[in-house]
Amino acid sequence: MSLSTANVSRPSTEQVQRLQKGGYILYFRHAEPFPRSGDSELSEIGQEQATALGNFFREQNIPVQLPVVTSSARRAQQTGKAAFQNIHVEEALYDMDTLFRENPTEEEQARKNRLLTLLESNPAEGFNKVLIAHQFTFNGEVDPIPYLGMIMLMPKGDAEGYEVVDVFHF
């Protein structure tokens, strides 16, 4: 099953109520960066997007487990800081494709294991775990997401997998 992002919008009232209960992994693509290659920073628009995301979560009383986890890229870290202030950098989030790589090297397998732990582990009771990284389709389960697109995942527990539940855009 592939979730289309063609008509993705902000969460509905019902979806916000689900988020308010916690228990989800919320995988975000970083906010809009400056248009250049390499480890670019957020643009002014990206800073505004990230700040608005944090405000939305606070205004809607959506509980977030802190620190939020970001990739090592500046644009992901800046998104996390602007939205939620408290971040932890996880290098493995920079290489999400490792999850589906066949015959990974020892180093890749270690990254894959860290990623699986992030995606399969339940957040603290009543909270959502936020991951901020990059464009990723979860092996084709979702269409490419825009800047600040969010993939809502339901963790099934350690070594039990996860399920893609929904896709939003902020």
pLDDT digits (tens, 9 = 90+) for 17-48: 999 999 999 999 999 999 876 788 999 999 99
Q: DSSP label at 42? A: B
Q: What would the pLDDT profile of 95-153 be if each residue is shown by its tens digit?
A: 999 999 999 999 999 999 999 999 999 999 999 999 999 988 888 888 899 999 999 99
What percent of the chain has pLDDT above 70? 94
Q: What value does the mean pLDDT of the chain take?
A: 91
Give the predicted TM-score (pTM) of the model: 0.91
Q: Has residue 168 got a pLDDT over 90?
A: no
User: Which top CATH class is 29-169?
Assistant: alpha beta
Confidence category of residue 88, pLDDT binned at 50, 70, 90: very high
Supply the DSSP symbol for 25.
E
Q: Secondary structure of the chain: what % helix, strand, coil (to 5)?
A: 35, 25, 40
Burial (CB < 10 A; 0-12, 13-18, 19+), residue 160, is exposed
E strand segments, 21-159: 25-29, 64-70, 87-89, 128-133, 149-155
Evaluate the omega torsion of the peptide bond into residue 67 and state whether it is cis, within 30 degrees of 0.
yes
| The pLDDT of residue 8 is above 70 | no
pLDDT at 36: 76
Q: Which has more confidence, 4 or 63? A: 63
Report CA Rg, the chain.
15
C-alpha 91/C-alpha 131 separation (Å) is 12
Asked whether 41 and 60 are in contact (CB, 8 A), the reply is no
H helices of the chain, in order, are 13-21, 44-59, 74-84, 106-120
Residue 1, pLDDT > 90, answer no
CA 104 to chain centre: 23
Say yes or no to pLDDT of 3 above 60.
no
73 has a pLDDT exceeding 70:
yes
d(CA 59, CA 49): 15
